[in-house]
Chains A and B, each alone.
Chain A
């Protein structure tokens, strides 16, 4: 925990006669004490009094004054039961404000930033050549407070600071030496440019972005199973390294799939909003948790791009900010019309290898097919054809006149099969109505078919808890002219008459027919108790499990055959082809038959196995989570939800922006692309400010607006409003370049100044809001481990790829459901940068959690910076810290030199600067007292140095 210094700042400065400042002094009081009942929320409004607008307040201000000053519990406002009494001073402020005419102003952050004039460098000595406008803004405030910038930090401090900030790693001793030796005037700028161009820049800044994206490698909640979304993480790294303009960076993540001819990269980028959690617990209602995901998406978007705490408006009109309840859901509608597929990322390597395998398979198949032209294979094939033809029955493929399937839309495909679109539920019932049902139907055949659009290719729609692509037909019912037509028995093509398909018409809805399994087509035949007679049929298919398990694609066929039908293992497509004489077969039909023969023929076992073996070697790319839009003819409706509750949908709403901000482009399609463009429109008063403010906080520990996630009425006011606007306008005019923004900041004298704290300043600005010194900031979790690995020479510089499992003490994962295993990675993967550590939501990597790393459960705009005994124990005793110290100890023991020099080298490695005489003296003495060999001694010294405050701090 950081010690609390600035008690002294609490004293007010408002003694002058000038009327109180509305934004700074008045609105915070109104917002905190009055708006809840007299604010934007009309439903909660009491006495029809509205104090958030001038019009609403005008008539009642005298009454307001009386009531807030009243000593009568019945009269006084706010009423005692809300436990928000006004202080005498607050009452005085409101009094003064009302006496001065009760002027209202639009909230600062809702007014678009304009490029402010750069203040003169008053008071200070002439600015140096390198002084930036940033310094002018900072200085003008410092001068006014009787303060000034601190002298520049020494060069060793500077290179360590800039390296940690820009690439998240400390410099090597050689890099430090080179920089110290370089006395050219642009030595620092060269350093900055080198760091900005480093591929590790993207890693450092990706980690910050991933906090907002709530990135993790597992689904969260009870089961917390693994997911693949690291290709999105790698996309972020690449995009930042490429300095993709922030507007583009945004559009691709929100709506990359909606761009014309999207590239695979642009589709992968939509993983941003697939980082929401997925509850796979057995009994959940999947639609409920989908709703929570969408809510999370809109809240995360608002935090990340608007700096607004939109979450409040989920349940009711925002009590403080001007965001009506309905507008929340209008905004949500932009993100609600999505499907959530996986996308296979194919590297060139995979594509080539796949091509090779497919060619080999084709060659093998060709060989088999050719062999069928000659005896003895030909004779056998023809015999098979005949036997299959002999058992052919007549099947018709009736097409339903109407279907009814709740939120699911059944789309009729050309081959007569139905594809299920939309949201699967835990219980789905598909009703197919036929107006022209054939007479004398004796059996119904149902094919469960695969389709690339389904999870794991189907045939089912299970996407959580159970195997992906699973389904369970728990009940099938047929009625003719409203009269039930019962079934007598059932069989399928893989278990024949032993099939458990009969369970689909028993009394138990928990049992049923599940097909051959995910990824495989199969079919089932239900024989009717007696032939049907009527024309109007209703076929009802019920799918019910403790997870969503409806069929994704299927086809119905019927027969009037008199004999009892037992399903037979031949695909229906092949069967239909058999009806055509061989000489009329198209090439495609011929292949269908050959393949089916190859699949079934006992004679071709060897060839079949050879092909299957090849197919198994076919490499798969990672299937990463992405977004896609619902088909135009089947959009998802969005409703306002009363009290924000899933179970209380109210009226339907259409997508739309926030009335307090700039308008959405007129006439644009109400989709994610329009929404994304609205977010990064130059008219948006918030997005550039919020973004530059977050960048500022990354360097200075705190934002210009302290509340990085709240630019609304309740948020803090900017300490340097003009500087914020200047940075925001610069950022937009510089083509939204993050690298240029970062360079502008680190080139300023404000950034380069020393972090030493002059005691006389403490009284004037204990919180260092005015930046009379560079703020010391504790390193982020990943940086601490990365620093230890870098100092010890263990760090792997490999960029990207699947997440890794560095060693951590056993038992960290014990409390996770099912006692998840953590098998440490081998080789260089033990020493990868922290952002590649497997992020398990319910049991985060211990060291990261100890140093305030996020769990990935919610969008994090700013990490906590704590200072705890558990951190001390980690740095002292964690095996990975010890391993790093030992690596240094071993290296130093093998080097030449006397003890003093060795101590100096250790300090250089760990702290990026030479050791002071005092440190040398203390550490040499310490080393002398260590029992054991050379390596043990220097390990002990390295361990001690890595436990210094300076090691975990950006000075």
Chain B
């Protein structure tokens, strides 16, 4: 373990391990050693205890889902004015590409009168519980750097991810499950494992991937030829010999190892229990649109709720597939079919169980999509939209976030933010704030300086908070 992380224990663990705990370890009553991440006090009381981040990887089209721009329909086919574009670099299209109008009808929904697209019929039902931010902006306009930027505050791999920072700040409420869980549906994720890496934080803070097929956690089930009894006997004999070794050698690290084996054994029980959806009612399954045995975004959302119930702190569900360089209408329709019902169900379900107040749900991608059309005969693309970093939309719900509001505005072309810009760093600061963490104080000393999730930027957007 790095010196720095050792320091962290002394400095930040508060209660930590006193002489007494140490002594008890050394005489061998190691089974009580709580060596998972102990819960820690936040900087100030936060409303949210857990975060479920529904990461819409590939970047959904805000202009076809959340940010209605009739002006685009009027200008469809005409080039976007150069004074709007300025010097922006694009991934695929040329900066003089023509405007593409909204592909769907929009209507106001709920008491709040939030205007969203017809392809989000389920979200319409919970629109008064969410906070729609139409003025998110990012620095990055390519998938991998932008996803990594959203998750780590930096565009290149190597820094701790959002979940890692949150665990570092708050510790874990569960001893039976990993406190930071990552699930994914759709195709592979551009940013890869850098999105849930602990970077230079101790690897204990890395997100644990729950897989769709086979064991949810790698190596969770016993290998072939090892039945339950043999596994128990093995754990017993390993424990016994390790305890003897601890007594002989006296290194508390052995006590930690013993405790980790105990946790592993608990995981072998708790993870299958978690994944077993038989106890969920048919009504709940239908609410999400979840078939219990079939991996899907809906199932991942339901499991996310169960994880929060069991004290898991931070959950990422990646749904990759929104990268609509061609046929943005078809792409949006398909992906909404996969995600809309379950996303809304998650909010509903958390709310009716009284969990929404302490669970923050975040929905959105790594950047937005252009008001201009992407078409390219060489690449076989038509009626798509390219990557757009200047403005996009996300929604948040629960966990201390104001329900039923829309925040921020873009110009008539949906190009630039004109009111209440929310930079990704601001969103990070705000989410940390909801958890009771001051983004400027949540620092970690590495390579000669104090690092933060928000780098040297970020302002808490108070207007989003209750």
Chain A interface residues toward B at CB < 8 A: 1-8, 10, 83, 220-222, 224, 277, 279, 281-285, 292, 303, 309, 311-312, 319-321, 472, 508-512, 545-546, 702, 706-707, 709-710, 712, 714-716, 755-759, 762, 767, 776, 778, 809-812, 814-820, 841-844, 846, 849-850, 852, 855, 857-858, 862, 864-874, 876-879, 882, 918-919, 922-923, 926, 929-932, 936, 939-940, 943-944, 947-950, 953, 955
User: Which of B10, B253, B263 has the most CB atoms of chain A within a 10 A radius of its CB?
Assistant: B253
* B65 shortest CB reach to chain A, Å: 22
In the complex, chain B residues 240-299 whose Cβ is within 8 Å of any chain A Cβ: 240-242, 244-246, 248-258, 260-261, 263-264, 267-268
Interchain CB contact (< 8 A) of B89 among A3, A285, A303:
A285
Whether A279 contacts B145 by the Cβ 8 Å rule is yes
Contact: A877 with B219, CB < 8 Å?
Answer: yes
Question: What is the CA–CA distance of A144 and B213 in the complex, to the nearest angstrom?
Answer: 60
| A-side contacts of B17, CB under 8 Å | 3-5, 7
Partner of A707, one of B3, B184, B203: B3
Partner of A10, one of B10, B13, B241: B10
Is the pair B209, A815 in contact by a Cβ cutoff of 8 Å? yes
Residues from chain A with Cβ under 8 Å of B156 in the complex: 277, 292, 857
B25 with A3: CB separation less than 8 A: yes
A868 contact set on B, CB distance < 8 A? 203-204, 260
The answer to whether B263 touches A815, judged by C-beta atoms less than 8 angstroms apart, is: no
One of A4, A303, A871 near B6 (C-beta < 8 A)? A4
Known: A510-B378, A869-B263, A943-B234. A817 touches B189 (CB 8 A): yes
Contacts of B13 in A (CB 8 A): 4
User: How far, in whole Å, are A878 and B189 apart by their CA atoms in the complex?
Assistant: 25
- The answer to whether the Cβ of B188 comes within 8 Å of any Cβ in the partner chain is yes
- B222–A877 touching, CB < 8 Å: yes
Find chain B residues with CB under 8 A from A939 CB: 225
Please give the distance in Å from B262's CB to the nearest CB on chain A: 8
Counting from the closest, the 9 A-B pairs by CB-CB distance are: A283-B91, A842-B192, A309-B448, A4-B9, A757-B250, A872-B264, A222-B144, A2-B1, A222-B190
The closest CB in chain B to the CB of A874 belongs to B219
Q: How far is the CA of A309 from the CA of B4 in the complex (A)?
A: 15
Interface residues of B in 372-390 (CB under 8 A from A): 376-379, 386-387
Per the 8 Å Cβ criterion, residues 193-249 of B in contact with A are 193-194, 197, 202-204, 208-209, 211-215, 217-227, 229-231, 233-235, 237-238, 240-242, 244-246, 248-249
| Contact present for A869 and B260 (CB under 8 Å) | yes
Interface centre among B92, B222, B257 (most CB of A within 10 A): B257
A766 to B, closest residue via Cβ: B22
Tell me whether A809 and B214 are in contact (CB under 8 A).
Answer: yes
The reply to whether A809 and B145 form a contact with Cβ atoms under 8 Å apart is no
Most buried by A among B203, B219, B241: B219
Q: Which residues of A contact B197 (CB under 8 A)?
A: 855
Residues on the A chain within 8 Å of B240, using CB:
922
Q: Known contacts being A283-B92, A814-B184, is A940 close to B230, with CB within 8 Å?
A: yes
The B381-421 residues at the A interface (CB cut-off 8 A) are 386-387
User: A864-B203, A872-B263, A874-B219 are known contacts. Are A221 and B253 too (CB-CB below 8 A)?
Assistant: no
Q: In the complex, what residue of chain A is closest to B1 when comparing beta carbons?
A: A2
Tell me the nearest residue of chain A to B89, going by C-beta: A285
Contact A809 B218 (CB under 8 A): yes
Is B71 an interface residue, CB under 8 A from the partner?
Answer: no
B459 interface residue, CB < 8 Å from A? no
- Taking a contact as CB atoms under 8 Å apart, the answer to whether A283 and B90 are in contact is yes
Could you list some 6 contacts between A and B, CB below 8 A?
A4-B17, A546-B379, A778-B253, A870-B264, A873-B268, A955-B249
Q: How large is the interface on B (under 10, 10 to 19, 20 to 34, 35 or more residues)?
A: 35 or more
Instruction: Evaluate contact between B264 and A3: CB separation under 8 angstroms.
Output: no
Cβ of B70 < 8 Å from any Cβ of A?
A: no
Q: State which of A3, A279, A755, A757 has its C-beta within 8 Å of the C-beta of B144.
A: A279
Interface hits, B134-154 → A, CB 8 Å: 141-145
Are the C-beta atoms of B264 and A866 separated by less than 8 Å? no
Residue of B nearest to A926 (CB): B237
Q: Are B264 and A876 in contact (CB under 8 A)?
A: yes
> What distance in Å separates the Cβ of B186 from its nearest Cβ neighbour in chain A?
10
Q: Do B204 and A866 touch across chains, with their CB atoms under 8 A apart? A: yes
Asked if B338 lies at the interface with its beta carbon under 8 angstroms from chain A, I say: no
Chain B residue nearest to A224 (CB atoms) is B192
Contacts of A810 in B (CB 8 A): 213-214
Q: How far is the CA of A745 from the CA of B28 in the complex (A)?
A: 34
**Most chain A beta carbons < 10 A, residue from B37, B192, B194:** B192
Interchain nearest-CB distance for B228 vs A (Å): 12
A710 to B3, CA, bound (A): 12
Q: Does B109 contact A (CB under 8 A)?
A: no
Contacting residues, chain B, for A809 (C-beta < 8 A)? 214-215, 218-219
In the complex, B465 has a CB within 8 A of chain A: no
**Cα distance A185–B226 when bound, in Å?**
48
Q: Is B318 positioned at the interface, with any CB of A under 8 Å from its CB?
A: yes
Q: How far is the CB of A866 from chain B (nearest CB, A)?
A: 4
Which of A714, A862, A878 has a CB less than 8 Å from the CB of B2?
Answer: A862
Contact B92 A759 (CB under 8 A): no
Hey, which chain A residues are within 8 Å of B91, CB to CB?
281-284, 546
CB-CB nearest in chain B for A816: B188
Would you call B251 and A757 a contact (CB within 8 A)? yes
Contacts of A855 in B (CB 8 A): 157, 193-194, 197
Assembly CA distance A319 to B448 (angstroms): 10
Given A511-B377, A815-B184; 20 other pairs, CB 8 A cutoff: A2-B253, A4-B13, A7-B16, A7-B19, A83-B441, A222-B143, A283-B141, A309-B448, A320-B449, A546-B379, A702-B3, A757-B249, A810-B213, A811-B213, A816-B188, A817-B190, A817-B192, A873-B220, A876-B231, A922-B241
Residues of A within 8 Å of B254, CB to CB, are: 949
| CB within 8 Å for A759 and B144 given contacts A282-B92, A936-B225 | no
Report yes or no: A819 in contact with B187, Cβ–Cβ below 8 A: yes
**B125 in the interface (beta carbon within 8 A):** no
Provide the residues of chain A in CB contact with B233, threshold 8 Å: 926, 929-930
B457 to chain A, nearest CB (A): 12
Cβ contact within 8 Å between A817 and B449: no
B169 at the interface (CB under 8 A from A): no
B138 to chain A: closest CB distance in Å? 14
B439-466 interface bits toward A, Cβ cutoff 8 Å, 1 = contact, 0 = none: 0110001011100000000000000000
CA distance A282 to B141 in the complex (A): 11
B267 and A715 form a contact (CB under 8 A): no
Say yes or no: A309-B449 contact (C-beta < 8 A), given A282-B91, A819-B188, A919-B241: yes
| Chain A: minimal CB distance from B155 (Å) | 8
Partner of A842, one of B141, B193, B230, B248: B193
- Judge whether B158 is part of the interface by a CB distance below 8 angstroms: yes
Which residues of A are found within 8 Å of B447, using beta-carbon distances?
303, 309, 311-312, 709-710
Cβ of B354 under 8 Å from chain A: no
Residue of B3, B178, B245, B260 near A716 (CB, 8 A) is: B3
Contact A220 B157, beta carbon cutoff 8 Å: yes
Taking CB atoms, residues of chain B closer than 8 Å to A843 are 192-193
A545 to B141, CA, bound (A): 17
Collect the chain A residues with CB atoms within 8 Å of residue B208's CB.
870
Report chain A residues within 8 Å CB of B194: 842, 855, 857
CB pair A948 B202 closer than 8 Å: no
- Pick from B1, B2, B189, B244 the residue with the most CB of A within 10 Å: B1
Instruction: Assess whether B329 is interfacial by the CB under 8 Å rule.
Output: no
Docked complex: B356-382 residues within 8 A CB-CB of A: 376-379
Q: Which residues of B contact A3 (CB under 8 A)?
A: 17, 25, 33, 35, 252-253, 255-256
A5 to B194: give the CA distance in the assembly, Å: 31
| Contact yes or no, A279 B217, CB < 8 A | no
Instruction: Tell me, in angstroms, the Cα distance from A146 to B335 when the chains sit together.
Output: 69
Q: Which residues of B contact A10 (CB under 8 A)?
A: 10
Chain A CB within 8 A of B191 CB: yes
Select the residue from B209, B230, B376 with max chain A CB neighbours within 10 A: B230
Q: Would A279 and B142 be within 8 Å (CB), given that A220-B157, A948-B245 are in contact?
A: yes
Interface string of B102-134 (1 = CB under 8 A from A): 000000000000000000000000000000000
